[in-house]
Structure 1
Amino acid sequence: MDWWLVTFFIGAIFSLILPIEPALFYVGLLILCFLLAYINQSTRRYSALLLGCAWVLFIASQYQQIWSTNQLNSSMLAYQEVLVHGEVNTIPACEAQRCRFNFIAHQLNSQVLKQPISIRLSWDSPTQQLQQGQHWQFFVKFKPAHGLANEGGFSYQTWLRRYNIHATGYVRKNKKHQLISNVINHRQQQFSTFKAVLPSHNLSAIIQALTFGERSSLNKDHWQILQHTQIQHLIAISGLHIGIVGGFSYFLILAIIRAFPLHKLMSRFTYSNQQTAVTLGKLLNRNIRIFALLFSAGCAGYYAYLAGFSVPTLRALVMIYLFLFFRLMAINISVLSWLALSLFIIVLLMPMSLISMSFWLSIYAVVCIFFIIWRFNKLFSYHQKEKDTLFAYLFKKCRQLLYLQVMLTLLMLPLATLLSGQVSFVAVLANLVAVPLVSIIILPLSIFALLISTISTVLAIFVIDIVLVILSWLWQYLTFLAELPWAVVNLSHTHWCFIFIAVVCIIFSFVITPKQRKWMALPLILIVANISVLGFKSKSEWTVKVMDVGHGLAVIVEKNQRILLYDTGASYPSGFSMAESVLLPYFQENGVQQLDWLIISHDDNDHAGGFIELHEQLLISNLMTNDKAINASHRCIAGNSYQWQQLTLDIVSPGEIKGADNDDSCVVRISDQHNSVLLTGDISQKVEKLLVSKLQANSKDITDSYLASKVLVAPHHGSKTSSSTAFIKAIAPDYAVFSAGFLNHWRMPANTVVERYQKLNVNVLNTADSGMITFQMRSKGIEVSRYRFDDWPYWFAN
């Protein structure tokens, strides 16, 4: 049975490697193959591989077919204002007059949906207070679930799929929205009551995250300290928190019940049969553990409800409830069987957990705990002796927990480093203090304050003040650790091979025997091979990467691990910026801390919005911009030329510094002896005509001009006002790239512009469809890769 469950889990994992979601016909074919394999005795052991794969793909297809099921054209809806009727499904995260929330739509434009659609909405300056459980009628604009796709960046589309969100959008301003029902649920009531007693304190957001899982109030400073000390797992309600609540409630109710001698109470009311009362009392005392287990299960479930039944809490509940079930039913089951059955149920109920890193972190943590206890069995096996005092017993137990925590932190560190792109040298010191303090004091007191906030506001405020004092001490300690000069080191992807091999060597040293350690030479050979591959990379090659920044532009030119950046993408009033979400993660993953060149075409937000953030985070050797408010080292003037690592940077336009108009965009041609790329900013056909006229006036061969380029980043995102036929012919590109937003309301690139390129036999690429587009410039030709289809070609991310 265990093997069958494990193979089901492995089959579910195999389903993730497919580039597209197969049609339901093929899913049905997989199920048929499973039945045939299960009937056959010789293949039954492996039949669950097919079932696990089919199950995940079936759920994935249901998500994808939500639009066709409701007979809706999602692409056309993106350009329309839609009237939706439904329910607010999460506690709204409101800050700076802007609220974000999940909305379950039951009707679209008065059409009752066959299956509800989950939409992630934002509402600027809401006219009324939003609360979970309310029913609203909104005028909204939304798009099907979509996210940016870049190397090193966060996959928003994967996140949306994981939480079964089908679309994202915003509530229209200056429209008459209608509150249909103001009935709010119990979770929202508890949240509102508790938030009212929380003081205006910098660390109140931590308490809010620990009690309700609402982390929207955490700012950048909070996250920086949490990440640098690697304790962000403490504020994400998961198995640790559910286990703490369950364990605390279990021992609490056990202590309360045992404080009452039940057999004596029973004897007072049964004078006629004293022996029966005593027997009944002893029987009740022996079975109070059952009641305590049920009570703790209820408390854990209630806490998970307050946390919004998030996926991590539900996974923890499955594992805990399964464990309690076997205890209550007095069924002896091995740890491996319990884990295999837990994974089977989790995949069955929440198959999209497989694309969540928190799921793998949880599983990895559980495996590490059992591995540590197994490998150091003597250290953790302790039998209380008669002469041992209670203090000695507790001391030895605390020492065991301390050992377990240190070793668990060390084993979790590589995976945490992989996720954050940073190695924290203070993680062990931080977790040694933070984990027990949060587990034993801060979390229980916070939940106690929550529970009594509806009964006594004064007592709740008193308890919260105690929590804030302890939390302040802890935060000062964490801040001290995070600000140490050597606390954190950023790692690039070239280091991951070495980290992985180092972890393998550490695990091998624990598990294998001395005679088997000769096999550790294999990882060393891999290290040498990796160094050799990096060293033999051709120094003449260079790459051009058009980043996926929505409606905007950011182009990275890289050679010999040195960087030229053309434009920075946009930034938004909410604080979100393409520099923070796309460029800086890419630079961090590739170990880039300095830009040789930063060229800003013009000061429109979608091209220059990330400049300030990049200027603060990176060292910029050469800055070129015509924005007079910026003290740049170079101005963009046609005719200037620069040499950079045997590449030539020719300034094509403008002829003089005029201002911030689209036509003043800095047009740059970057070339070597074989390949070239033309970066055009937002110029219009007016500038294009001037450039072509200048070329014709000089009587140069149009195919060998200062405009001719094999790769063209199309002007103005493919607007109708740009990309004239004469300009395209003058450039004669092999590839044209549109940097445009997904289903943007400008409808760029325009169909007429795309057709214009195609008629001239130009290969057309769009970041909205392909994600980040990479051109490998080699003497033998250009190699093109699209992130969505070539670098990360998995159905759950596209």
Structure 2
Amino acid sequence: MNRKFTEDYLVICVSGFFGGVVLASTWADLSLYRLGFTALIPIIVMIRVVAIRAVGLCFCAGIAWMWIFGHFGVPTRIPESCFNTNVAAQARVADFPEVYAGFNDLRLQRVELELASLDRDECQLIQRARVFYDGEIPLRLGQVLTLEMVLKRESGLANFAPDASAANSAVDRRFVRGSVTRLVSVVDAPTRFEFWRERLSSAVQQHPRLSDATKGLIGALLVADKRYLPESLARVTRELGIGHLLVVSGLHISLVGAGSLWLARLVVYPLSWWLWPQAIRVMAGLIGLLAASSYAGLAGFSLPTQRALLAFSIWWIVHILGRGSYRFRVFALVLLTLVVVNPLIVLSVSFWMSFTAVFGVLWVLQASLTGPQDTSLLRTQTLICVLLAPLMTHTFLGFSPASIPANIVAIPVATFCWVPLTLLGGLFSILGFGELSDLCWRLVGFTVDLIMNHGVPLLPNELLMPMALPWYSAAILTLTVMLCLLPVGSFRRSGMLASGGLLFALTLLTPPKSGAKLTVFDVGQGSSALFEADGRRLLFDLGGGIPEVFYRFDNSVYPYLLKHRIDHVDTVAVSHDDFDHSGGADSSRFYLTWDQWISPDPMRPGSQPCRTGRVERWSEQVQLSWLSGLPASSMSSDNDRSCVIKIEAYGRSILITGDIGKQHERELVRYWREELRADFLVVGHHGSNTSTGATFLKWVQPDYAIISAGFQNPFNHPSAEVLARLEAVNSQILNTADTGALQFEWEDTKALQTLISRRDWARFWQRNYSD
């Protein structure tokens, strides 16, 4: 291989390799036949165009590497003997424990553990786990625990829309979770970095002169401690699209490394009269690398900081070797190294954001070199924000018109004020100069309080417009912006803009569909379903979660609604007030509008109770019948007050019963009898033995029994008795804990189509969780 190929085709080869890895990450499995692409190698070799041959060979190499890594590089195939039984282990607390208020005033601590040893040899592959501890001992970063715990697979949620939590678990190679059953011993044994992370975090939070917003921001930037970020600050940064500035990542590590390198050159420069110039560059680079590594250590060596540190190291080495003149080659080399080390990194949102931003910088600079010589900071930053807008809209399921001006203002403020002053304050605190540390942090606090007290109140209440942008639409929009930056004439630029806009508009067109569709979401231990027919929609139940902590609606129902551009439903029905059915109504992402809200309890102004016997006819083919619903004033239990609905559409019927018990089921049988017959039954109370009695099933006779339950839930739902009763009436049992979300689609002239998320939609890194 000659030098010309090495230099000129590096970017091309890396592009092909990266494309192969990205394609393989979308596969449902890693079967041997997936390597069939490599059979094209003999054909590719015969291609005479060198660039195409290089791309093809590297593309096949990327596919092969993901296949190898998926089989041998990550512990997805963990023996069943490791789960659902007490396992003794020794582990280190690897990050700041987070405290949650659980149900019944229970105090839960969520802890990230690095496992040093387990008492089962076959479980030694497990290196990381996220566990919950409900004991009284407060846990701290750096403690070594001897404990007993019950491990479970990290199942994630599998819906017909992206789930960032499952992808992040795969990237972090964390495939198990668990609960601590017994804490045997706790020993404080922090590393040097862990000691200073804990100490600096405490110093910030105990500072008497800083506001809560300032403490939260300094803690996040200094030691990656986001536990104390006020919800007001988190919401504003999220909706303005500047939340990335509060996560220690490439921007922060590069700033520290490059700034330290520059300062080191100034300090070492007087020695240039007797030192070899290359030695000065090496010394300055080592100092910059040491500073960047120290900051990454204070941030906990999280995956984004590891990625940024590796990228900075490669950039420095390439420049020391004198090979950094062409920026895209350095970019390609960094990208190749990261993807080879961990190809699953392509699942990470932060990876795409960081590398798209860097690529945008390089593209703008390159376009400026060949076109108008305008490389002003304002112009460059504006163009990068425009380039990132489609990706941010696709990733965060929304677009804020204020995000571009917000980033133009916030990035310089964070770069030249918040990050330097925060780190200087931390350094002075470590060295014992308390007054200087206090001065630096108070200067940060002055700007933060100025923004929070005088800038934020001027903003509208809703900054983020919910919007779903398919990846291909985002790609077309980004490519169009990039092409328009090229130094071409105004006529060609207008043509590219018009063509790109037309293609983008075509990707958003969705032809109207006839017939009926039922989607049962995977919301864990809860319930939510969407029925659609003839252009109308009913959303029944909203999932659960933990109040004021997280809502299952946010990463299951919400992405699906946005993906299909649903912002209005005809009816929202909440079966009853239990949080696992109604929780999504409290989510900040519950943006829907509706014509009517139906629930036993008045959850919304104008909400109506379920009225037994009420019938709604949507069309000649679609009818909704409310079979039961007791008012909140009833003496019945919350579960028995559940709304019960039967939906008849295009020759098939659906029965949803909420959480009613067997006694109430018998009352329905006495009143409705044959009217209870249904093709689909959403099984009551998540499969609990308190519901779905034999008499009730005798009259319903469902073809499909759908159970909405959490994966390995603590209630052991569904019960064996319920499963036996369903089998006795020859129902096909579908449990969302195993199948993920379910979708049924039919009409008069077409057979029933069934989609099972974990079978038909999930990727291999999701499927392996529940194999």
TM-score by structure 1 length?
A: 0.83
Check if 1:599 corresponds to 2:573. yes
Do residues 451 (structure 1) and 420 (structure 2) align? no
Query: Structure 2 CA distance, aligned partners of 1:417 and 1:61?
Result: 33
The alpha-carbon deviation at position 634 of structure 1 amounts to 2.8
Q: Which residue of 1 aligns with 2:3?
A: none
Give the Cα–Cα distance (whole angstroms) in 2 for the partners of residues 692 and 250 of structure 1: 78
CA–CA distance in structure 1, aligned partners of residues 560 and 215 of structure 2:
33
Provide the C-alpha distance between the structure 2 equivalents of 1:694 and 1:449, rounded to a whole number of angstroms: 73
Pick the aligned partner of 1:676 from 653, 656, 659.
Answer: 653
**Distance (whole Å) between structure 2 residues aligned to residue 424 and residue 118 of structure 1:** 36
1:83 to 84, 88, 103: 88
Measure the CA separation in 1 of the matches of 2:473 and 2:47: 44
Task: From the superposition, tell whether residues 493 and 499 of structure 1 become closer, same or farther in structure 2 (CA, over 3 Å).
Answer: closer
Q: Which moved more, 1:712-721 or 1:520-529?
A: 520-529
Aligned mates of 2:359, 2:767 — CA distance in 1: 27
Q: How far apart, in 2, do the equivalents of 1:53 and 1:468 lie? A: 49
Deviation at 1:545, TM superposition (A): 1.6
- Offset, 1:739: 0.3
1:541 alignment counterpart: 515
2: CA distance, partners of 1:65 / 1:253: 43
Unaligned residue ranges in structure 2 (runs of 5+): 1-5, 102-106
The equivalent position to 1:783 in structure 2, one of 753, 756, 763, is: 753
Change (3 A) 1:319 1:797: farther
Alpha-carbon distance, 1:296 to partner? 0.8
Higher alpha-carbon deviation: 761-770 or 543-552:
761-770
Q: Is 1:145 equivalent to 2:151 in the alignment?
A: no
- For residue 444 of structure 1, report the CA deviation from its aligned partner: 0.9
* Corresponding residue number in structure 1 for 2:64: 54
Q: For residues 384-399 of structure 1, what are the structure 2 equivalents within 5 Å?
A: none
Residue in 2 aligned with 1:367? 359
CA drift at 1:162: 1.0
**Deviation string, structure 1 residues 20-61 (Cα, Å, up to 9, x no partner):** 1337xx79x889979999999998874443433233233323
**Distance (Å, rounded) in 2 between the aligned partners of 1:616 and 1:10:** 36
User: In 2 relative to 1, CA 565–574 (structure 1 residues): closer, same or farther, beyond 3 Å?
Assistant: same
Whether the aligned pair in 1 keeps the contact of 2:253 and 2:296 (CA below 8 Å) is yes
The alpha-carbon deviation at position 98 of structure 1 amounts to: 4.0
What is the aligned residue count?
738
1:120 counterpart = 2:112: no
Distance 2:303 2:549 in 1: 27
Question: Which moved further from structure 2: 35-44 or 746-755?
Answer: 35-44
Distance 2:255 2:422 in 1: 13
One-letter code aligned to 2:668 = L
Q: 1:46 to 1:410 in 2, by over 3 A?
A: closer
CA deviation string 1:87-117 (max 9, x = no partner)? 2222333466543221123444576853343
- Superposition pairs for residues 69-218 of structure 1, below 5 Å? 71-74=79-82, 77-78=83-84, 80-94=85-99, 98-109=108-119, 113-132=123-142, 134-152=143-161, 154-172=163-181, 175-179=182-186, 181-198=187-204, 199=207, 201-202=211-212, 203-218=214-229
Residue 275 of structure 1: aligned partner:
none
More displaced stretch, 147-156 vs 104-113: 104-113
Cα deviation for residue 83 of structure 1 reads 3.0
Distance 1:197 1:607 in 2: 42
1:326 is paired with a residue whose SS is helix
Cα distance in structure 1, aligned partners of 2:492 and 2:549: 57
Q: Deviations over 1:196-241 (max 9, x none)?
A: 3212522211111112222232243222211222111212222211
- Say if 2:538 and 2:572, in contact at 8 Å, map to a contact too: yes
Query: Residue in 2 aligned with 1:253?
Result: 264
Deviation at 1:402, TM superposition (A): 1.9
Q: Please say if residues 518 and 744 of structure 2, whose CA atoms lie closer than 8 Å, have aligned partners that are also in contact.
A: yes
Q: Work out the CA distance in 2 between the residues paired with 1:117 and 1:285.
A: 45
- With over 3 angstroms needed to count, the CA separation of the structure-2 counterparts of 1:102 and 1:486, relative to structure 1, is closer
User: C-alpha separation between the residues in 2 aligned to 1:470 and 1:664?
Assistant: 53
Question: Does residue 582 in structure 1 map to residue 556 in structure 2?
Answer: yes
Contact map agreement 1:430 1:478 (CA 8 A) in 2: no
Which amino acid is the alignment partner of residue 149 of structure 2? V
Query: What is aligned with 1:627?
Result: 601
Q: Is 2:15–2:55's contact at 8 Å kept on the other side of the alignment?
A: no
**1:638 to partner: Cα distance:** 2.8
Q: 1:571 to 1:754 in 2, by over 3 A?
A: same
Post-superposition Cα deviations, 1:629-649, rounded to whole Å, max 9, x if no partner, equal 887643324322233466322
Shift of 1:743: 1.3
1:566 paired to 2:566? no
The match for 1:484 is 460
User: Cα gap change, 1:45/1:485 in structure 2, threshold over 3 Å: closer, same or farther?
Assistant: closer
SS at match of 1:177: strand
Q: Which residue of 2 aligns with 1:338?
A: 330
- Describe how 1:285-296 pairs up with structure 2 within 5 A: 287-296=279-288
Instruction: Return 399-408 or 643-652, whichever deviates more.
Output: 643-652
Alpha carbons of 1:204 and 1:150: their partners in 2 closer, same or farther (altered >3 Å)?
Answer: same
d(CA) in 2 for partners of 1:285, 1:498: 50
Counterparts of residues 508-523 of structure 1 (less than 5 Å): 508-511=483-486, 514=491, 523=500
Counterpart-to-counterpart distance in 2, 1:468 and 1:303: 21
| Structure whose CA Rg is larger | 1
Could you tell me how far 1:152 is from its partner in structure 2? 4.7
Does 1:555 find its partner at 2:547?
no
Provide the C-alpha distance between the structure 2 equivalents of 1:783 and 1:256, rounded to a whole number of angstroms.
71
- Partner residue, 2:368: 376
Secondary structure of residue in 2 paired with 1:543: strand
> Does 2:445 align with 1:468?
yes
**What letter corresponds to residue 19 of structure 2 in structure 1?**
I
Could you tell me which residue of structure 2 aligns to residue 267 of structure 1?
none
Deviation, 1:325, is 1.0
Deviates more, 1:544-553 or 1:742-751: 742-751
Alpha-carbon displacement from aligned partner over 1:726-760 (angstroms, at most 9, x marks no partner): 43342233322110110123322234533543454
Deviation of 1:790 (Å): 2.7
User: Deviations 1:483-530 (Å, cap 9, x if unpaired)?
Assistant: 237844322458x87665554443343346646976766556646756
- 1:710 matched to 2:679? The reply is yes
1:686-729 C-alpha deviation (Å, 9 max, x unpaired): 33333334455xxxxxxxx3212222111222233433444334
Look up the equivalent residue of 1:674 and give its one-letter code: G
The answer to whether the Cα contact below 8 Å between 2:307 and 2:338 also exists between their aligned partners in 1 is yes
Shift of 1:450: 0.9
Q: Aligned to 1:706, what secondary structure does the other structure show?
A: helix
Q: Deviations over 1:67-89 (max 9, x none)?
A: 54xx5524xx22x3433322222
The answer as to whether partners of 1:56 and 1:351 remain within 8 angstroms in 2 is yes
Say which SS state the counterpart of residue 146 (structure 2) adopts: strand
1:426 counterpart (391, 402, 418): 402
SS, match of residue 623 in structure 2: strand
SS of corresponding position for 2:676: coil
Aligned partner of 1:558: which letter? Answer: E
Q: Which SS does the other structure have where 1:170 is aligned?
A: strand
Give the 3-state SS of the residue equivalent to 1:73 in structure 2. Answer: helix
What is the Cα deviation at residue 596 of structure 1? 3.0
Give unmatched runs, 5+ long, in structure 1. Answer: 263-279, 383-398, 697-704
Give RMSD over aligned pairs: 3.5
* 1:392 alignment partner in structure 2: none
Aligned partner of 2:242 among 228, 231, 241: 231
Evaluate the alpha carbon distance shift between residue 11 and residue 99 of structure 1 in structure 2; reply closer, same or farther with a 3 A threshold: same
Letter in 2 for 1:779: D
What is the aligned partner in structure 2 of residue 686 from structure 1? Answer: 663
Partner Cα distance (1:294, 1:782) in 2: 65
**Distance in 1 (alpha carbons) for counterparts of 2:23 and 2:112:** 31
Contact kept, 8 Å, 1:555 with 1:566, in 2: the verdict is: yes
CA apart distance, 1:333:
5.5
